[in-house]
Amino acid sequence: MNSLGEAFAAAWKLIAGFDAELAQVVGLSLQVSLSAVVIATLIGLPLGAMIAVERFPGRQTLIVLLNALMGLPPVVVGLVVYLLLSRAGPLGSLGILFTPTAMVIAQAVLITPIIAALSRQIIEDAWREYDEQLRSLGAQRLNAAMTLIWDTRFSLLTIVLAGFGRAAAEVGAVMIVGGNIDGVTRVMTTAIALETSKGDLPLALGLGIVLVTLVIVLNALAAIIREMALRRYG
C-alpha cells in the first residue's frame, strides 16, 4: 500500500507546481467558507449572547434545539437550501442555485447553530461570574452582552475557527447547492469527491492534504494571535 506515499507526492506536486486551476479551487473554498463563517458569526454570536443573558419562556427549549442543530447533517441542509433556491422553490426567482452565493448560504445555515450554541455556553458561564458586578455598575442587558462578548473573545475565536473548520470540511451541502461546476462552484471538498469517483485516489488524497494544510495554517495563525493577545490583556 504505497497510496499514501503517492498521495503525499501528489500533494507536493500540486503545491509546488502552483497550478492555476488548483489556486482557483482553493481560493473559492476559502472565499465561500470564510464568507459563511462571517455571516454565521454575525448572526450566531448575538443570538448566543442574547440567549445567555436574557430569560424568556421557551429559552430552555431553544437551547436544546440549538445544541441539537449543531449535528445537522450537511446533506440535509444542502437539500433544504436546494429546494428553497430551486426554480420550482419559493426563492427560485433569485436564480442563485448553483452559484457560490448558494454555497455560502448553505454553509452559513450549517454553522450558525454551532456558533450560537457554543457561544451561548461560553457567554453564559462568563455571565455567571460577571452578573452582579455588571449590574452593580449599572450595565443594561445589551451593554452587558457586548462586554461579555468582548471579554470572552479568545474563547469565541476558537468557536469561530471550529465553525470555519466544519464549513471548509463539509462536502454534502456544497455539492448539492453548488453542483460542483468546473471553474464556477468547484471547491476543495467537491473536487476531492470528484477525483475519488474518478478512481484517482492519490490525487484526491493529495487535494485532501492541501486542504488540511490550509486549515492547519489558518488555525496556527489564530493560535498565535490568541497567544499574543492573551499575553497582552490577560
Partner 1 sequence: MLPLELDQLTFSAGNAAIIRGISARIEAGPRTVILGPNGAGKSVLMRLCHGLLTPTSGRVVWHGSKNGDVRRHQAMVFQRPVMLRRSALANVVYGLKLAGKSRSQSELRAMDVLEVVGLAQHAARPARVLSGGEQQRLALARAWALGPDVLFLDEPTANLDPASTQDIESIINAIHASGTKIIMTTHNLGQARRLGDEILFISNGRLVEHTPIDRFFKQPASAEAATFIKDEMP
Partner 2 sequence: MRMLGSAALGLALLGLLPGPAAWAQKKFITVASTTSTEQSGLFKHLLPIFEKKTGIQVRVVALGTGQALDMGRRGDADVVFVHDKVAEEKFVADGFGVQRFEVMYNDFLLVGPKADPAKIAGGKNIIEAYQKIAAASAPFASRGDKSGTHAAELRLWKISGVDPRTGKGGWYRETGSGMGPTLNTASAMNAYAFTDRGTWLSFKNRGDLVIVVEGDRQLFNQYGVMLVNPAKHPHVKKEPGQAFVDWVISAEGQKAIADYKIGADQLFFPNAGR
Residue ranges binding partner 1 (CB under 8 A): 129-130, 132-133, 135-139, 143, 147, 150-153, 232-234
Shorter beta-carbon distance to partner 1: residue 64 or 137: 137
Q: How far is CA 54 from the centre of its chain?
A: 26
Shorter beta-carbon distance to partner 2: residue 147 or 180: 180
Q: Which of 9, 95, 143, 216 binds partner 2 (CB under 8 A)?
A: 95
Q: Which of 7, 10, 84, 104 binds partner 2 (CB under 8 A)?
A: 104
**Secondary structure class of 190 (helix, strand, coil):** helix
The site partner of 138 among partner 2, partner 1, none (C-beta below 5 to 8 Å per kind) is: partner 1
Supply 185's cell numbers: 462552484
Closest approach of Cβ 74 to partner 1, in Å?
A: 35
Shorter beta-carbon distance to partner 1: residue 3 or 143: 143
Q: Which of 185, 158, 188 is nearest to 170 (CA)?
A: 188
Q: How many CA atoms lie within 13 A of 216 on its CB side?
A: 6
Q: Are 7 and 76 in contact (CB under 8 A)?
A: no
Would you say how long the chain is, in residues?
Answer: 234
190 binds partner 2 (CB under 8 A): no
Shorter beta-carbon distance to partner 2: residue 95 or 135: 95
* Burial track 119-157 (b if 16+ CB lie within 10 A, e otherwise): bbbbbbebbeebeeebeeeebeeeebbebbbeebeebbe
User: Which residues of the shown chain bind partner 2 in the complex (CB under 8 A)?
Assistant: 30-32, 34-35, 38, 86-89, 92-93, 95, 97-101, 104, 179-182, 184-185, 194, 196-201, 229, 233
